[in-house]
Structure formats: C-alpha cells, structure tokens
Amino acid sequence: MLVRNHLFLVISLVLMVPAAAAAGPNDVHDMVRAGEIMPLEPIQRRVVQQNRGEYVGVQFDHGSRTYRFRFVQDGALVNVDVDARTGDPVRRRKNY
C-alpha cells in the first residue's frame, strides 16, 4: 500500500509539469546528435548508482537543459537535477 501511495504521488507530480517545459524524445535525440547535450544512458547509470532508494523515473527539461531523476527514499520524493550538457549534478532536493 505504501509503495502504491508513493507511485501515485510521483505520477501526480509528473502530470503537473507543464508540457512546454518537457521536450519530446525526438527533441532530445536531435540535441544529443547535435552535441548540445549528453546522452541519457551514461548519466542515468551513474545517478542511479550514486543514489539510494527506489528509482522511479527521469524527465528532461528543455528550458534548463537538465535531466531530473526521481527517487523515493524513506517515504520522501527526492529530485536529483543533472546538467545535460556536462553531466554534473546541479541540485538535489528532498520533498517530505
């Protein structure tokens, strides 16, 4: 029941993100091909390995050129923002 509540929370939060802020898969692939951003896979592997908790997903923000990784840790949602151009962590925020 607790896991289902967390997943509901995460899905609700994802749906609240404005559509204009999120880029579609084709936009992301085009930016990777053009060398504007790094591919998701190597960044994702590193971020998932470095963060504990249940990994629940990732989203790309076109405006800030960041990947936002989401984890559930100890009942709280944790957002880890990573600069898609460099692969460097930008921010880590825990929502209780």
When pLDDT is cut at 50, 70 and 90, the band that residue 2 belongs to is: low
SS3 18: coil
pLDDT the model gives residue 33: 96
Which segments within the chain are labelled E, that is strand? Answer: 54-61, 66-73, 76-83, 89-95
* Rounded-to-integer distance, Cα 27 and Cα 68, Å: 16
pLDDT the model gives residue 67: 98
Per-residue model confidence as pLDDT tens digits over 37-77 = 999 999 999 999 999 999 999 999 999 999 999 999 999 99
Which tokens hold the place of 96? 């209780």
65 φ, ψ to 5°? Answer: 55, 50
